[in-house]
Amino acid sequence: GAGVSQSPSNKVTEKGKDVELRCDPISGHTALYWYRQSLGQGLEFLIYFQGNSAPDKSGLPSDRFSAERTGGSVSTLTIQRTQQEDSAVYLCASTTSPRGNTGELFFGEGSRLTVL
Amino acid sequence: GENVEQHPSTLSVQEGDSAVIKCTYSDSASNYFPWYKQELGKRPQLIIDIRSNVGEKKDQRIAVTLNKTAKHFSLHITETQPEDSAVYFCAATRGGSQGNLIFGKGTKLSVKP
């Protein structure tokens, strides 16, 4: 499809395990965002990429969280030594940044992470 | 860094009434202010946005107003319908025109038939 694709859609893991969440943005979109949404809560910013670089990673909650983007396309969010408070839906979004300006964000369906 | 405050957190209106949601932001460099609608179990989708060179923008029953001096912007929905029921998020850029988007905590709007 032509939309933002995220995988896995659901992930159940045990406390202390590492997880990797993948985001495949819309082709040609230069900017990519990761947000976290806990049950009934807002969109908590995690990290933002322009191309392969991350001008703003201030939202990462701790050093257990990291993200990378390669080839200006796919991004991976890694959570090491997961904790129960990491349970949430992790949303990825991408945009074209037309004329250098922030444009409409297109969100993926999200990856629901449950840490037991 | 940018902080976006959104009020109210919940809003209940009768069908046909108007609904207003307000947001304030802290970064004076912010110049792009979108609004997203998230229906239950679905992904957020853009419904309207405004850039800092205009004070108001309308799209059918939806309008957004911006007051840069006061650093606040509002979403107005007129003639509400049950299908308007959703969570609405405001956002503002951090770091100028090509920057990160910081979201408010959301407003759950319920439109009663």
Q: pLDDT value at position A75?
A: 97
Residue A73 burial (10 A CB sphere; 0-12, 13-18, 19+)? middle
Q: pLDDT value at position B33?
A: 93
Q: How do beta strands B10-14 and B107-112 pair? A: parallel
Q: pLDDT value at position B22?
A: 98
**C-beta atoms of B32 and A109 within 8 A:** no
> Which chain A residues are Cβ-neighbours of B51 within 8 angstroms?
101
> Which chain B residues are Cβ-neighbours of A100 within 8 angstroms?
97-98
pLDDT in single tens digits along all 116 residues of chain A: 579 999 999 999 999 999 999 999 999 898 899 999 987 778 999 998 988 988 888 889 999 999 999 988 999 999 999 999 999 999 999 988 655 567 789 999 999 999 99
Distance between first and last Cα of chain B: 41
Q: How do beta strands A31-37 and A88-95 pair? A: antiparallel
Rounded to a whole number, what is the distance in Å from the CA of A93 to chain B's nearest CA?
10
Q: pLDDT value at position A99?
A: 55
> Which chain B residues are Cβ-neighbours of A41 within 8 angstroms?
105-106
Nearest to B101, CA basis, from A32, A110, A116, A77: A32
Task: Establish if B110 touches chain A: CB-CB under 8 angstroms.
Answer: no
Task: Establish if B49 touches chain A: CB-CB under 8 angstroms.
Answer: yes
Q: What is the pLDDT of residues B75-110, one digit of tens each?
A: 999 999 999 999 999 999 886 545 688 899 999 999
User: Residue B73 — pLDDT band, cuts 50, 70, 90?
Assistant: very high
Enter the tokens of residue B81.
Answer: 């319908």
Q: pLDDT value at position B101?
A: 86
d(CA A103, CA B33): 10
Rounded to a whole number, what is the distance in Å from the CA of A80 to chain B's nearest CA?
25
Task: Kindly identify which residue of chain A lies nearest to residue B32, measuring between CA atoms.
Answer: A102
Rounded to a whole number, what is the distance in Å from the CA of A110 to chain B's nearest CA?
8
Q: What is the pLDDT of residues B46-58, one digit of tens each?
A: 999 998 878 899 9
Q: pLDDT value at position A64?
A: 97
Q: pLDDT value at position A57?
A: 84
Q: pLDDT value at position B1?
A: 67
Q: pLDDT value at position A56?
A: 81
d(CA B61, CA B71): 24
Q: What is the pLDDT of residues B13-56, one digit of tens each?
A: 999 999 999 999 998 888 889 999 999 989 999 999 998 878 89
- Least CB-CB distance to A109: which of B43, B49, B99? B43
Task: Kindly identify which residue of chain A lies nearest to residue B35, measuring between CA atoms.
Answer: A104
Q: pLDDT value at position A60?
A: 93
> Which chain A residues are Cβ-neighbours of B45 within 8 angstroms?
107
